[in-house]
């Protein structure tokens, strides 16, 4: 009988040149797999302006990185990927800095509340379950709404003589005080609105350990009424700061940031992000939203499926480092 | 292939020196100490035993590390069987069990084991049950089933047993627990050797390699040798930095990422 140690050892001996040892994760992984992962997630972030953390973290765990290291290192990788994404969008004039900073102010305040809730849930146990349920609900609702809206928009384009949708509806939200002009986004709305949205997203991103791009993007499009072209760059701008904050906090409290892993992912990520940005420019807004809705719904379906299907092994083990 | 670090101290050492190395490495197994005691100061019949050493006492984890192995070799003073056990430093591990609550699989039970060896491998020249009595196996803690795992969570023994076997199963799947019967090879009657393989996820720390000489279903001699598994070079530097200066490390990780993101966008400028 061949033990798994031997098999792993033999497999390692066969292609040892491609493997890299990650000092914090304490495992060896194939460099090409990591580069490919980085590139795929980078591509998504370039196209949609979502950080891709909600995809990267589960994928890293799947290939053998300890969960705590996966969460913290993807945040580190996000910083770099978002910087190069913002630079690319900025050169095309697609970043609304004013809007980004206002959202960020709300986001940082929200993340403090989020960290507090996270600690509370951890003490009560079941943090993992809470995260999964939050993900499924958020992704399901957002993905569903976006799907319905984008399909309607796509159909409207093909129907001749259809009326053009207004840029955004006027509701009670627009009656709030502290009105400010966001020139790039061609909006004149209350600053309280983006601050509030940033705050709520800050809470969720702290609990879920993500940049919040996939919540931020639909919120910007549907709640603020920002033009789709400005959304990815502005969202990424905000993600830089949120991810940097998470990285430093994780490094300081848990020692789980694997800088080597993050760098390898980044090399693949920046290439993917550049290609993604160009690809995204060729798509129309509703096509972009339809594709993002598809991805978001697919992730939600996968998570919901995993929660209800009996796991292969009912037992799981963890050392104190997770 | 893996690196095999050949050090100068490869040849068999005098038995008296071995007591020193045990002392330094805080051997936790009293049984091994007793065996050694018997080996060194016992009756003349028991003073005979074995001498063994490793080709290297350091497993160096470098950036290209994909697992490694060391060769243990030695000689006995006569016919007999040899059992080799390798133990990594103990750590606390928690085993959780999921059950269905309202259609969703949730962790509902957990048992924490306080002293799980982070690595345990055993090799023998013949199947354990043929060469050693169950009482001796238990006394010298030889074999995965004989590890003393203490549950620090109060639970009925049936439950603890189920959680324990789940722990053993997972550790074996991860390559961290292994039993390799018949893997100690004899060259002639007295010379023996075996290869100890370590997977790429091998935990760092000071390991104990225990070698037992077995005759008539009982341990008649033994020896313990330390083995250090350690990160070296860049990986060690990164790891130590992340623990000693966590805030600074985090800041540098962020700055590096920003620089990398900026640099990566440069070649495309104007293109």
Tens digits of per-residue pLDDT, B53-107? Answer: 888 888 888 877 778 888 998 888 888 888 999 998 888 888 888 788 777 777 7
Same structural domain, B179 and B266: no
Does any domain span residue A113?
Answer: yes
Task: Kindly identify which residue of chain A lies nearest to residue B101, measuring between CA atoms.
Answer: A308
> B249 lies in a domain?
yes
CA B77 to chain centre: 27
Q: How confident is the model at residue A217 (pLDDT cuts 50, 70, 90)?
A: confident
Say how many CB pairs under 8 Å bridge A and B. Answer: 226
Question: What is the C-alpha separation between B184 and A71, in angstroms, rounded?
Answer: 43
A64-A68-A74 Cα angle (round to 5): 80
d(CA A205, CA A201): 6
Average pLDDT over residues A41-67: 76
A253 touches chain B (CB under 8 A): yes
Question: Has residue A46 been placed in a domain?
Answer: yes
Residue given tokens 């509370």 in the structure block: A120
Q: Do A315 and B95 touch (CB under 8 A)?
A: yes
Per the CB < 8 Å rule, is A255 touching B173?
no
Nearest to A83 among B97, B247, B262 (CB): B262
For an interface test with B, which of A1, A3, A5, A136 has the most B Cβ atoms less than 10 Å from its Cβ? A5
Flag whether residue B255 sits within 8 Å of chain A, measured between CB atoms.
no
Does A257 sit within 8 Å of B250, measured CB to CB? yes
Q: Is B48 exposed, middle or buried (0-12, 13-18, 19+ CB in 10 A)?
A: middle
Claim to verify: residue B224 and residue B257 sit in the same structural domain: no
Per the CB < 8 A criterion, the answer to whether B122 and B143 are in contact is: yes
Query: Do B200 and B137 fall within a single domain?
Result: yes
Residue B124 lies in a domain: yes
Closest CA to A246 of A216, A213, A211: A211
Inter-chain CB proximity A319 and B92 less than 8 Å: yes
Residues of A in contact with B246 (CB under 8 A): 251-253, 255
CATH at residue B20? 2.60.40.1930
**Residue A265 maps to a domain:** yes
- B181-222: pLDDT as tens digits: 668 888 888 898 898 888 888 888 899 898 989 888 888 888
The answer on B226 and B187 residing in a single domain is yes
Per the domain annotation, does A234 fall within a domain?
yes
pLDDT of residue A210: 67
CA distance B40 to chain A (A): 35
Question: For chain B, what is the domain count?
Answer: 2
- With CA atoms as reference, the chain A residue closest to B249 would be A251
ipTM above 0.90, yes or no: no
Are residues B257 and B123 located together in one domain of the fold?
A: no
Helix A31-48 and helix A259-282, axial crossing angle in degrees, nearest 10:
40
More confident residue, A278 or B267: A278
Q: Under an 8 A CB cutoff, do A126 and B252 touch?
A: no
Q: What is chain B's mean pLDDT, rounded? A: 76
Same domain? For B140 and B183 the reply is: yes
How many structural domains are present in chain A? 1
Tens-digit pLDDT profile for residues A154-180: 887 655 544 444 445 556 656 666 677
A37 alpha carbon, distance to own chain's centre: 14
Q: Does B92 contact A320 at a Cβ distance shorter than 8 Å?
A: yes
The answer on B132 and B55 residing in a single domain is: yes
Which residues on A lie below 8 Å from B104 (Cβ)? 129, 307-308
- Give the residue on A whose Cα is nearest the Cα of B97: A315
Q: Print the SS3 string covering chain B.
A: CCCCCCCCCCCCCCHHHHHHHHHHCCCCCHHHHHHHHHHHHCCHHHHCCEEEEECCCEEEECCCCCCEEEEEEEEECCCCEEEEEEECCEEEEEEEEEEEECCEEEEEEEEEEEEEECCEEEEECCCHHHHECHHHHHHCCCCHHHCCCCECCCCCHHHHHHHHHHHHHHHHHCCCEEEEECCCEEECCCEEEEEEEECCCCCCEEEEEEEEEEECEEEEEEEEEEEEEEECHHHHHHHHHHHHCHHHHHHHHHHHHHHHHHHHHHHHCCC
Range(s) of the domain holding residue B256: 232-271
Q: Which domain holds residue A297?
A: 30-158+168-306
A298 is a domain residue = yes
Residue A48: predicted pLDDT: 75
């Amino acid at each position: 009988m061949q033990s798994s140690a031997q098999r792993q050892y033999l497999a390692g001996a066969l292609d040892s040149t491609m493997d890299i040892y990650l000092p914090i994760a304490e495992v060896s992984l194939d460099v090409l797999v990591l580069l490919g992962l980085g590139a795929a997630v980078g591509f998504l972030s370039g196209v949609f302006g979502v950080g891709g953390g909600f995809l990267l973290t589960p994928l890293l765990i799947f290939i053998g990185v300890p969960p705590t290291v996966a969460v913290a290192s993807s945040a580190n990788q996000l910083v770099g990927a978002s910087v190069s994404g913002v630079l690319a969008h900025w050169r095309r004039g697609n970043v609304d800095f004013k809007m980004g900073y206002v959202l960020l102010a709300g986001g940082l305040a929200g993340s403090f509340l989020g960290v507090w809730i996270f600690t509370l849930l951890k003490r009560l146990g079941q943090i993992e379950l809470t995260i999964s349920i939050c993900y499924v609900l958020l992704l399901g609702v957002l993905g569903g709404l976006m799907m319905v809206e984008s399909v309607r928009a796509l159909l409207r384009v093909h129907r001749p003589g259809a009326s053009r949708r207004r840029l955004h509806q006027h509701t009670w939200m627009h009656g709030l005080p502290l009105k400010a002009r966001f020139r790039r986004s061609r909006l004149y709305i209350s600053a309280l609105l983006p601050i509030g949205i940033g705050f709520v997203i800050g809470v969720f991103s702290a609990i879920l350990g993500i940049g919040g791009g996939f919540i931020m993007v639909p919120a910007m499009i549907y709640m603020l009424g920002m033009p789709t072209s400005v959304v990815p760059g502005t969202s990424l701008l905000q993600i830089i700061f949120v991810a940097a904050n998470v990285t430093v906090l994780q490094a300081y409290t848990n020692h789980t940031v694997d800088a080597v892993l993050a760098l390898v992912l980044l090399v693949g990520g920046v290439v993917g992000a550049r290609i993604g940005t160009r690809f995204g420019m060729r798509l129309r807004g509703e096509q972009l939203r339809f594709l993002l809705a598809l991805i978001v719904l697919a992730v939600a379906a996968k998570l919901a499926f995993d929660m209800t299907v009996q796991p292969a092994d009912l037992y799981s083990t963890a050392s104190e480092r997770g | 292939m893996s690196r095999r670090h050949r050090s100068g101290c490869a040849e068999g050492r005098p038995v008296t020196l071995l007591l020193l190395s045990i002392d330094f490495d805080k051997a936790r197994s009293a049984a091994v100490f007793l065996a050694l005691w018997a080996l060194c100061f016992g009756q003349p019949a028991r003073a005979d035993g074995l001498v063994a050493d490793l080709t290297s006492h350091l497993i160096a984890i470098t950036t290209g590390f994909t697992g490694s192995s060391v060769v243990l070799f030695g000689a006995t003073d006569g016919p007999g069987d040899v059992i080799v056990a390798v133990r990594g430093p103990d750590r606390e591990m928690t085993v959780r069990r999921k059950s269905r609550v309202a259609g969703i699989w949730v962790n509902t039970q957990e048992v924490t084991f306080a002293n799980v060896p982070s690595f345990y491998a055993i090799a023998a020249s013949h199947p354990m049950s043929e060469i050693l009595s169950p009482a001796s196996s238990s006394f010298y803690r030889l074999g995965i089933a004989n590890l003393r795992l203490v549950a620090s969570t109060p639970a009925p023994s049936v439950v603890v047993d189920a959680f324990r076997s789940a722990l053993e199963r997972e550790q074996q799947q991860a390559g961290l627990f292994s039993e390799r019967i018949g893997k100690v090879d004899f060259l002639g009657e007295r010379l023996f050797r075996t290869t100890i393989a370590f997977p790429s996820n091998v935990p760092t720390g000071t390991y104990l390699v225990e070698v037992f000489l077995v005759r008539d279903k009982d341990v008649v001699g033994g020896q313990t040798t330390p083995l250090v598994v350690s990160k070296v070079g860049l990986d060690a530097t990164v790891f130590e930095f992340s623990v000693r200066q966590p805030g600074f490390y985090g800041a540098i990780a962020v700055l590096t990422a920003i620089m990398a993101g900026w640099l990566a966008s440069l070649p495309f400028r104007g293109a």
